[in-house]
Structure formats: structure tokens, C-alpha cells
Amino acid sequence: MTDALNERSLIERFFKDCGARRSDVALGVGDDAALIDVPPGMQLVAKTDTLVSGVHFLPHFPAASIGHRALAVNLSDVAAMGAEPAWALLALTLPKVDAAWLAEFAAGLGALARKHNVALVGGDTTGGPLCITVQVLGYAPRPPVMLRSGGKPGDVLFVSGTPGDAGAGLAVEQGQLPNATSAAANYLRQRFLFPTPRVELGQRLRDFASACIDVSDGLLGDATKLADASGCGVVIEHEKLPISPHLTSTVGDTRAREIALTGGDDYELCFAVSPSNVEKLQRALPPAQWGYSPIGVLRAERGGAVTRNGTVMHFSHSGFDHFAR
Ligand code: ADP
Ligand code: MG
């Protein structure tokens, strides 16, 4: 059966009905290009991200995870804009046609797409070194309301989820944390392999946040990017970082906080809220239910800093170096 798969039958079999069905897709997979009806009065949001084998994942990682992450990283960016994802394109470069791998990959990507009502409307399939590029399109109200640049000194900074889990999960996946209990190892691995893009939270934050960024390269570095774009600086309080019990039990409290600040691949949202909006936010979106925590403030003094009991700490921003030794 594998031998019989050519480019066209492969697309037909694995990707034609992979994502959600949407009535605004006038023409999806099959013609030269897709045609989409964009809601009037909305602004189109567009993002693309590439995962390269050996750089962003290893070829032996579960194919379902590779499919999930290829879409998730894009959904996370769209979420950070407070936008609603709707359509995706998939450019797939494959070293060989492996039907079992493709079925798993498509299942991983398709499940996440359907969860967020995203239709896969097209793409490209080529032979070559394993590489996956997904593009997500969606829409946001005009004018845009939640950019990186809207923060002001005094705004409270929040982060969703428990950063650091994914960075440690990658280390687990690579056999670098052999002392983790199997419960902790499973939890951390899942957090790396199947990150949860905060799509609904992003849209709900439009009414409250002054600025937002998604955390993909380490919380401290990304929070500093938000602050830079807003023309200010940021202070994160070490003791306020939300750390998962499994991360602490695996690497200890100090190291857990270090990984939370500098590890990558979290795909959480980091957002700023003006003091006058904080109570409204917490009433409308109860933190325990929506899973986010205050971690610091924006301030006039530029740059990113971490304080512990009021004293400034020093950190390198290099997440992956932590596991390189
Ligand atoms: P062409 O015949 O113009 O080269 P393609 O063979 O590249 O067209 O693509 C045929 C159709 O299949 C197009 O609608 C394209 O968008 C879609 N497509 C190709 N590869 C994929 C993929 N990996 N996932 C989803 N759709 C794809
Ligand atoms: Mg083509």
C-alpha cells in the first residue's frame, strides 16, 4: 500500500480531511490554491513557523507530537495577538513516504486543528530532508487591541501555565533527567511533546491586557521582548513564578525556577495588565480556572531583571545550555 502512495494520493489520504470543516472555506485542498471567505470588518492575521528535523525536534520523536507541535507553535502566536485562528496550510518535506508515520503525524495535527476549528486548506508536499512548515491564518477585530507594544510602566505582568515544564520535558525526552519519577517524566514529556496553545485565553484577554507575547524562547527573554517593544523594562519576582510540583520534585526548587525563566518551548502567554484592569480581569477570568499568575511588573527602567526578596539576581538567557553539560 505504501508503495502505491504518490504525491496526490498521499495528500488525498492524509491531509484532505485532516482539519476542521468550515463553511467559509469556498475551496480547500485539491485545486491550485484555496479560496476563503474572510468575515467583513475583520483583519486577517497570518503567521508561519518551520520545524526542521535535528533542530526543532529529533526524527524519532513521536510523529503525532511533530504534527501537533507544528500547528501549536503557530496557534500560540495567533493567540498572543488575541486573534481567532481559522485556516492553516502545511508545507511538508519528506525524506520518504512512510504511511504509518504520516497517519500518526496527520492524526496529531488534525486533532489539534479540529479542537480549535481550524481547517487545513492547502499546502505543498515535496521530497527532501524532513521539514515541516505550517502557516495559520485567522482574524482579529480591527483595530488590533493586544500587541507587544501596548505595555506601560506599572502594568502587572502575568504568565499562563507553569513555564519550565516543556524545557525539562525535552531533557527527559533526550534521556537527560534519568532520576525523574515515571509520573513526573510522563508529565514533563507530555508538556514538551503536546504543548497547549492558549487560544481561548488569548481572545478573552483582549478586553483586559495592554500587551501580550507568547513564551517560546524562555520567559525572561520573551518578557523582556514585550517590555522592549513597549518602551519599558520588566522585573520578575523569583518567588512568584508558578512552578509545577513535578518540575520541582525532579530538579529541585532553585533549578526549577531557573528553567522556568530560561527554558524554551512553553507556548504560554505572558501579558501585561494595567493596575486599573487587574481586578476586572480576575473577576471575569478566575485565575485558578484559567491558569495564570502574576509574576512581576513593567517599569520605566529598561531591560529585564529578576528579583529574589527584593534583591536583583543574575541569569543567562540561554535555555538550552542548561542541558548541554
Ligand atoms: P500542483 O499540482 O499545482 O503542484 P500540488 O500538488 O502542490 O499542486 O497541490 C495539490 C493540492 O493539494 C493543492 O490544493 C495544495 O494546496 C494541496 N496540498 C499539497 N500538499 C499538501 C499538504 N501537505 N497538506 C495539505 N494540502 C496539501
Ligand atoms: Mg504545487
Q: Is the CB of 92 under 6 A from ligand 1?
A: yes
Query: Whole-angstrom Cα distance, residue 315 to residue 254?
Result: 12
**Phi then psi for 308, rounded to 5 degrees?**
-130, 120
Query: Whole-angstrom Cα distance, residue 315 to residue 295?
Result: 16
pLDDT of residue 315: 66
pLDDT over 60 at 325, yes or no: no
How far apart, in Å, are the Cα atoms of 209 and each of 34, 221, 232, 262, 287?
34, 19, 16, 23, 14
pLDDT of residue 117: 98
Residue 13: band (very low, low, confident or very high) from pLDDT cuts 50, 70, 90: very high
Q: Is the CB of 171 under 6 A from ligand 1?
A: no
Ligand 1 geometric centre to CA of 29 (Å): 6
Ligand 1 geometric centre to CA of 120 (Å): 11
**For 89-98, 142-151, 241-250, 282-291, which range has the lowest pLDDT when averaged over its residues?**
142-151
Pocket test for ligand 1, best of 125, 133, 136 (most atoms within 8 A of CB): 125
Query: Whole-angstrom Cα distance, residue 107 to residue 109?
Result: 6
Residue 142: band (very low, low, confident or very high) from pLDDT cuts 50, 70, 90: confident
Q: Is the CB of 35 under 6 A from ligand 1?
A: no
Task: State what percent of residues in the chain have pLDDT above 90.
Answer: 89
pLDDT over 50 at 97, yes or no: yes
Domains of the chain: 7-141 (3.30.1330.10), 148-313 (3.90.650.10)
Query: Whole-angstrom Cα distance, residue 224 to residue 181?
Result: 34
pLDDT of residue 89: 98
Mean pLDDT over each residue of the chain, to the nearest integer = 94
* pLDDT tens per residue across span 67-92: 999 999 999 999 999 999 999 999 99
pLDDT of residue 41: 87
Task: For CA atoms 183, 188, 194, 199, give the dihedral sign.
Answer: positive
Average pLDDT over residues 135-161: 94
CB 135 within 8 A of CB 46: yes
Query: Whole-angstrom Cα distance, residue 80 to residue 99?
Result: 35
Q: Is the CB of 169 under 6 A from ligand 1?
A: no
85: DSSP letter: E
| Ligand nearest to the backbone CA of 91 | 1
155: DSSP letter: P
* Residue 14 alpha carbon, nearest atom of ligand 1: 24
Q: What is the pTM assigned to this prediction?
A: 0.94
Q: Is the CB of 122 under 6 A from ligand 1?
A: yes
Question: Which protein residue has the closest C-alpha to ligand 1 atom 3?
Answer: 32
pLDDT of residue 80: 98
pLDDT of residue 5: 84
pLDDT over 70 at 228, yes or no: yes
Query: Whole-angstrom Cα distance, residue 98 to residue 134?
Result: 20
Question: Which protein residue has the closest C-alpha to ligand 1 atom 18?
Answer: 123
